[in-house]
Amino acid sequence: MQEFESSSSPRLLALIVVVLAVSLLWLLSVRLKNTAIIDPFWGFGFVLVGLVHLMVNDYSWNVHQWMLIGMMMAWGLRLSLYLGRRFVREGVEHEDYRYANFRKNDPESYWWKSLMKVFWLQGLLIWIFSQVVQSVLCQTLRSELTSSAVFWIDAICWLIGVLFETFGDLQLESFKSKPENKGKVLNTGLWRYTRHPNYFGDSMVWIGFGVMSLGINFAINYLIEEFKLVRANS
């Protein structure tokens, strides 16, 4: 029972912190009249989860667990900085068409529904997806799961994924910045080899995390990753 409590407490605290954060962000979105502010938070939500575990950590982690939380936070921070810069560049007045259509279809109760269907939902998804990493941080890993081979597979998948996301974003940003490319489809660089490098990179990052926690909850990790892929392509 004590082992279960020590494992569940950081996860529960992470859930509370993330829900509070998205609730405060919702209040800001009401003031700005722009729900798209939630988009840059997606990556930062995983950073928050990592910070919670760092705060309650008893410093008994092994080197692989330290690296794993660092990789999750670095991935989340990069994504949030990229999306945050795009949000600022487009301006507070510009709202993504998804949220604009949502608002148009239900203007009277939009704000309350956006709290539940956008902000709380994203907060919950952040917490659920991060279980892949949280499960590793909250448990004592067996020696075979902390072998160098398993860890390096995880690290290589993560590095490939982050590089694909980073260069894919830079190439798309450069392409869109040129007026002559308006209405055209990017089919050079990484975009020549995959329909969307960002989705491929994101998948590689989280497959890497799943490899690290393979012997702990493989079935859950697999279902989460499949759900992420479906969500990204929908």
- 126-148: average pLDDT: 74
Is 224 a residue whose pLDDT tops 90?
Answer: no
CB 215 within 8 A of CB 135: no
Is 152 a residue whose pLDDT tops 90?
Answer: no
pLDDT band of residue 145 (cuts 50, 70, 90) is very low
Is 67 a residue whose pLDDT tops 60?
Answer: yes
Q: Which residue has the higher pLDDT, 228 or 109?
A: 109
pTM of the model: 0.83
CB 138 within 8 A of CB 10: yes
Q: What is the pLDDT of residue 217?
A: 47
Domain boundaries, the chain: 1-140, 141-234
Q: pLDDT tens digits, residue range 196-221?
A: 888 899 999 988 888 777 654 454 55
- Residues of the chain with pLDDT > 90: what percent? 44
Q: What is the pLDDT of residue 108?
A: 84
Is 181 a residue whose pLDDT tops 70?
Answer: yes
Q: Which residue in the block uniquely carries the two structure tokens 């055209």?
A: 184
Q: Decide: helix, strand or coil at residue 160.
A: helix
- Residues of the chain with pLDDT > 70: what percent? 83
Q: What is the pLDDT of residue 1?
A: 40
Is 233 a residue whose pLDDT tops 60?
Answer: no
* Contacts with 118 (C-beta within 8 Å, 6 or more apart), sequence order: 26, 35, 38, 99, 102
- 43-71: average pLDDT: 89
Q: What is the pLDDT of residue 232?
A: 55
